[in-house]
Amino acid sequence: MKPPVLKRLTSIAVLVSLCSALFIHSQVSVKSAPATLINSKISPDLRTLMQTDGGAKVRVVIQSTSGSAGLIGSLLQTLGGLVVAILPNLNIRIADIQANSASLLAADPTVSYISLDAEVRTTGHIVTTTGAAQVRAQNSLLGLNSTLDGSDVTIAVLDSGIDANHKSFSSRAGKIAFSKDFTGENRTDDPYGHGTHVAAIAAGEGSPTQGAYEGIAPGAKLVNLRVLNSQGIGKVSSVLAALEWLVANKGSYNVKVVNMSLGTPAISSFEDDPICNSVKKLVEAGVVVVAAAGNNGKNSAGEKIYGAIHCPGNSPAVITVGASNSYGTDSRSDDSVASYSSRGPTRSSSIDEYGQKHYDNLIKPDLVAPGNKIISAEAINNKLLNEFPSLEANKYSTSNMKLMYLSGTSMSTPMVAGAAALLWESNPKLTPNMIKMILMYTAQPLAGSNTLDQGTGQLNIAGGVALAKLVKGDVLLGLLGPSFGSSLLSQTPPAPQSTISSFTFPWAQGLVLKRTTVTGKELITKYQVSYGKGYVLGDGINEGLNSQSINSQMWTSGVALNNFLMRSEGLPMGSGSIFVSTVILLGDGFVMGDGFVMGDGFVMGDGFVMGDGFVMGDGFVMGDACALGEGSAGMH
């Protein structure tokens, strides 16, 4: 009998049209450009629509080269299209066109990619079990700043809004530094209930509950960018508009971290997808972007599924977070990866000029964090609770202090966002790639799970902050930046282990780098080129058809590639039993062993509605999850 699974559709359909096609060359381009080259610049779902209903009116996102906006606008006008929005910082135009017009637009050399404005949806002891409380206590005992709580850092939350009157936010003046709606509903509160819960996990005040339900970085400010409407649904174009705002205004509000507990099907390669390209711009500008992996780790029969990481979690530039199960205890001795948490490799793809399909096959998630039955702020009168009253935590009776349960990678993502804020505060000189490196290196490998389940392991804030504090400030200064291979730490690195709630565990002592993993003490003792701005962590790995090697100009000799992805025994990366060779990720093969990867990136029968841009299963994880003790609700 199939276990009962109630899954709530929570996909944000984001459609951004970039109007930058060069009209004066378009007719020549259509005639001369090979059809395969034109098709490679059109997203798979849009190509399917062109074949089935080419006359349909659609909203698209057009990515282009810089400086071509006016010419693309002319071409759109000639084709009968309408420019809806211009996002100049992202080189994107959003437009309404006839589906068949995409071929004419794609033929123009200044247009880099065209995709549908698809839908995007959402995917109590947290401070203690993650080590955040421990860090604050250690500072106090040492006579240091006892308020290592994210102060002087702002976290931007792209979600369904924030209930600003909830005590988690209203108890500190100026907590929500800015709010803006991108849904068209002209409100920034949270009638859906997801964004308030997420924001409080990252940065909720603990004083109203005497610290019992405190966010990871309670001193951090918040920027509330509402991209999901009152039904928990948004558009790709809404998300892109919010990212455009961030690129332009991040400095004015000191935004250092962006939380994206939402997703859309990862269809187009990260190199083409407009959201992936936009978040990469933010990371290159010095902002950490944290994204949910998704909640499609198993099918309706409860079988493990691989290859269901969502966008923008499929981007190598972001920190992609899966969900772990802490079973409601502070101790980390029995923690495991939640069965619903989406697993890698990423199956977004591109088509080359010869018409051949290539999957990204990146190792994801990067790490996991607690995501089951998380108690956090309850937005007043929210839709989620009205539909599912069992989510009420019954902790407080005052309307603006109530708390509710939710589970999913949506909840684990803001834990990592809060952790990033703490690392920024402990050492403001860190780059986004260094923060990502430190969080992966110090993670706790969870026994029984492989690399595609958990990345390097479970979030360890205590170890992350301890290491971050030792990174030299001066090594990151200067016009030319740090030199390759220079000493990274101010003193001998600490023992690679942490003790949280009386349980001692080793650090992963390794990193996920796109399609391989890497280990070595020099990851933290020497500066690697890939740690700097303008790079993606993992740049500098040479890949052939069936082999990988390190570029010695970007990685020092004391860093070693691993040839296999492992099933962990709770020991540092590289230990345990072999799961699969990393070489398989260089091709388009299937991952065999614990499960399987669907060849087209869609999970059939559980999680995705084919061809319509909706993400299924990014809402509640109930029924079988509840029976397994993995939480009563889950969002992406």
- Residue pLDDT, tens place only, 422-435: 999 999 999 999 99
Contacts of 209 (CB under 8 A, 6+ apart): 395, 396, 401, 403
Closest by alpha carbon to 313, among 368, 357, 350? 368
Radius of gyration of the chain from its Cα atoms, rounded to whole angstroms: 23
Give the SS3 label for residue 629.
Answer: coil
In the predicted model, is pLDDT for residue 159 greater than 70?
yes
In the predicted model, is pLDDT for residue 211 greater than 60?
yes
The pLDDT of residue 480 is 61
The pLDDT of residue 142 is 42
Phi, psi of 471 (to 5 degrees): -70, 125
Are 516 and 582 in contact, with CB atoms under 8 Å apart? yes
Tally of helices (H runs) and strands (E runs) in the chain: 18, 29
Percentage, residues of the chain above pLDDT 70: 81
Distances (CA, A) of 392 to 127, 170, 340, 613, 632: 21, 21, 22, 31, 11
Could you report the per-residue pLDDT of 71-120, keeping only the tens digit for each? 787 888 888 899 999 999 999 999 999 999 999 999 988 999 999 999 88
Cβ burial, residue 492 (10 Å; 0-12/13-18/19+): exposed
Closest by alpha carbon to 258, among 296, 299, 287? 287
Phi, psi of 151 (to 5 degrees): -60, 145
pLDDT averaged over every residue in the chain: 84
Please give the residue that has the higher pLDDT: either 631 or 242: 242
Are 600 and 295 in contact, with CB atoms under 8 Å apart? no
Cα separation, 323 vs 326, whole angstroms = 10
Contacts of 99 (CB under 8 A, 6+ apart): 46, 49, 50, 53, 54, 55, 56, 57, 58
* Percent helix / strand / coil, the chain, rounded to 5: 25, 25, 50
Please report where in the chains the tokens 């603006």 appear, as a residue.
Answer: 400
Cα separation, 590 vs 555, whole angstroms = 30
Cα separation, 51 vs 341, whole angstroms = 34
DSSP class per residue in 473-499 = SGGG-SSS-PPTT-B-BSSPPPPSEEE
Cα separation, 361 vs 347, whole angstroms = 6
Kindly list the catalytic residues: 159, 194, 410
Distances (CA, A) of 195 to 204, 288, 411: 12, 19, 10
Contacts of 9 (CB under 8 A, 6+ apart): 121, 233, 614, 615, 616, 617, 618, 619
Contacts of 73 (CB under 8 A, 6+ apart): 19, 20, 83, 93
Least confident residue range of 25-39, 169-183, 229-243: 25-39
The pLDDT of residue 596 is 60
Phi, psi of 225 (to 5 degrees): -110, 105
Could you report the per-residue pLDDT of 16-25, keeping only the tens digit for each? 222 222 222 3
Place 329 in a pLDDT band, splitting at 50, 70 and 90: confident
Place 35 in a pLDDT band, splitting at 50, 70 and 90: confident
Termini Cα distance of the chain: 26
The pLDDT of residue 34 is 67
> Domain 123-471, what fold?
Rossmann fold (3.40.50)
The pLDDT of residue 144 is 47
The pLDDT of residue 77 is 84
pTM of structure: 0.87
For the record, the structure tokens of 531 come out as 């740690």
Residues 222-232 have a mean pLDDT of 97
For the record, the structure tokens of 228 come out as 């999901």
Place 410 in a pLDDT band, splitting at 50, 70 and 90: very high
In the predicted model, is pLDDT for residue 326 greater than 90?
no
Cα separation, 110 vs 549, whole angstroms = 34
Place 575 in a pLDDT band, splitting at 50, 70 and 90: very high
Give the SS3 label for residue 248.
Answer: helix
The pLDDT of residue 181 is 98
444: left (phi over 0), alpha (psi -120 to 50) or beta: beta
The pLDDT of residue 352 is 87
Helix (H) or strand (E) holding 323: strand 319-325
Please give the residue that has the higher pLDDT: either 475 or 483: 483
Percentage, residues of the chain above pLDDT 90: 67
The pLDDT of residue 616 is 30
In the predicted model, is pLDDT for residue 491 greater than 50?
yes
Place 332 in a pLDDT band, splitting at 50, 70 and 90: confident
Domain with CATH 3.30.70.80 in the chain: 17-116
Could you report the per-residue pLDDT of 145-156, keeping only the tens digit for each? 457 888 999 999
Domain with CATH 3.40.50.200 in the chain: 123-471
Cα separation, 369 vs 341, whole angstroms = 11
Contacts of 626 (CB under 8 A, 6+ apart): 632
The pLDDT of residue 334 is 81
Cα separation, 422 vs 319, whole angstroms = 15
DSSP class per residue in 374-430 = EEEE--TT-HHHHH-GGGB-----SGGG-EEEE-SHHHHHHHHHHHHHHHHHH-TT-
Homologous superfamily assigned to 17-116: Peptidase S8 propeptide/proteinase inhibitor I9 (3.30.70.80)
The pLDDT of residue 379 is 97
Give bridge partners of residue 97 from the DSSP assignment. 58
Residues 4-19 have a mean pLDDT of 32
